[in-house]
Amino acid sequence: MFLLYVFLISLNLGVYKVIFNLYILRLGYTEDFLGLILSLTSIATGVFSIPAAMICDMIGRKRTLLLSCLLLVLSLIFLYNTTIKELLVFFSILYGASSSLNIVTGSTFMLENSKPFERMHLFSMYQVLYTAATMVGNLLGGVFPAILAKITSLDASGSLAYRITLLLSLMTIMFSFLPLLKIQERPISAPKNKSSYVFRTLLKSELVLKMILVYSFYGMGWGLALPYFNVYLDVIIGAGSDAIGVIFSLGEVFMMIALLFLPQLTERFGKIRIASVVQLLSIPFLVMFISTSWLWIAGFAYIMRSVLMNLANPILNNFKLEIVTEEQRASMNSITWMTCYVFVGIGTFIGGHMLAGGNYRLPFILTCGMYAAAAILYYVRFDKIEKQQIAVEVQ
């Protein structure tokens, strides 16, 4: 039931990723305002991660996910139905806060309802379903405005066609309530320590501080460029929403195939080594993406970069929770996601201003440096720790 919920939520996200940025630009706003609302969404997600973890511990994982769905629907309905700048800012912040409830709770729920030998497979399956749903959402989001244009007098690349597409995508979040209501979560013993004490303990840990540093570089790189792939394809390459949707969908298809082999790769070579290598291998394709004006080359580069970079996500989400105790997991999840999304927000704001100034390639170049730093730090700091864990498990 939880994985069905993930699939439905991710369908909506797939449509959002293709259409929302283009929708804001079609409303007449510039890239720097787009960068502002995207950055505020990410920062709100990060800042609210701490209270989200506390809410998760207080009311339980299932109720937190239900609350997240309710707030997501409310925030997006208003976000898609206003053109007033101040309201777009406010509901972007609410959307970010709502997302944090889902992000913080999801990984914790899976870890607590699985056994150690199942976790890499479960996190990989989660990523496969997330990817499959996002792929379908990308495709639907890309082609639906064109379908609307054929059956109505709407402009396929106009704001109204994009708005209708975004509003229809909200149905998937509404349907996600059904599997959530049927979930039976495993009872978790109440934390012996108060949340504030758990947070203080984690922040004194050298291991946790190292992980925070990795997520800082990762988040900054993510924010500088990733929110603007569709904008780059639209403005620089001249691709329409249908072509962008197909490219994004193909990226998810190949990502889904690659994820099927991830458990075997991590068992053979180690989680940390694989996560670091795939992040480094994604960098040349990011350079290729901004070095061509041909759509098919840019599309190929986007797909390869997306597959390689995102292979690291299940490992990052799994490993960070394995190095802390059960009562610390929700807090660890919130700290790392808070760090990541705050830096995503900072990067997104900077990237939006660069794009507004005509520097469309610079954010992607800076992202290459951030990803390289994150990958190297991750390997240097955590490879030995993983090997020590394996040695203990063997004993």
Q: Is residue 320 part of a domain?
A: yes
- Asked whether residue 186 is domain-assigned, the answer is no
Phi, psi dihedral angles at 48 (to 5 degrees): -80, -5
More confident residue, 392 or 185: 185
- From 82-86, 149-153, 202-206, 325-329, the region with the lowest mean pLDDT: 325-329
Residue 257 and residue 126: Cα distance in Å, rounded? 13
- Tell me, yes or no, whether 366 lies in a domain: yes
The Cα 92–Cα 253 span in angstroms is 29
pLDDT tens sequence across 134-147: 889 999 998 999 89
CA 198 to chain centre: 26
Residue 395, pLDDT > 60, answer no
Q: Is 227 inside a domain boundary?
A: yes
pLDDT at 394: 45
Q: Is residue 192 part of a domain?
A: no
194 belongs to a structural domain: no
Residue 251 tokens read as 């990226």
pLDDT in tens, 292-304: 999 999 999 999 9
Q: What is the CATH number of the domain that holds 163?
A: 1.20.1250.20
State the DSSP string of 275-337: HHHHHHHHHHHHHHHTT---HHHHHHHHHHHHHHHHTHHHHHHHHHHHTS-GGGHHHHHHHHH
pTM: 0.82
Could you read off the pLDDT of 333-390 as tens digits, one per residue? 778 888 998 999 999 999 999 999 999 999 999 999 999 999 999 999 888 887 776 6
pLDDT of 231 over the 60 cut: yes
Quote the domain boundaries for residue 107: 2-179+199-394
pLDDT at residue number 186: 66
The crossing angle, in degrees rounded to 10, of helices 295-310 and 312-322 is 20
Q: Reply yes or no on whether the pLDDT at 187 is more than 70.
A: no
Distances (CA, A) of 292 to 254, 302, 312: 22, 12, 26
Asked whether the predicted pLDDT for residue 113 surpasses 80, the reply is no
Residue 234: name the closest of 14, 17, 22 by CA.
22
Domain contains 189: no
Give the confidence band of 189 by pLDDT, cuts at 50, 70, 90: low
Number of domains in the chain: 1
Q: State how far the Cα of 263 lies from the Cα of 271, in Å rounded to an integer.
A: 9
Alpha-carbon Rg for the chain, nearest whole angstrom, is 20
Pair of tokens at residue 281? 């291998």
d(CA 37, CA 320) in angstroms, rounded, equals 29
> Alpha carbon 41 to chain centroid distance?
12
Q: What angle do CA 6, 116, 195 make, to 5 degrees?
A: 70
Confidence band of 263 (pLDDT split at 50, 70, 90): confident
Nearest CA to 219 out of 85, 64, 380, 46 is that of: 46
Instruction: Please state, in angstroms and rounded to a whole number, the distance separating the CA atoms of residues 371 and 391.
Output: 29
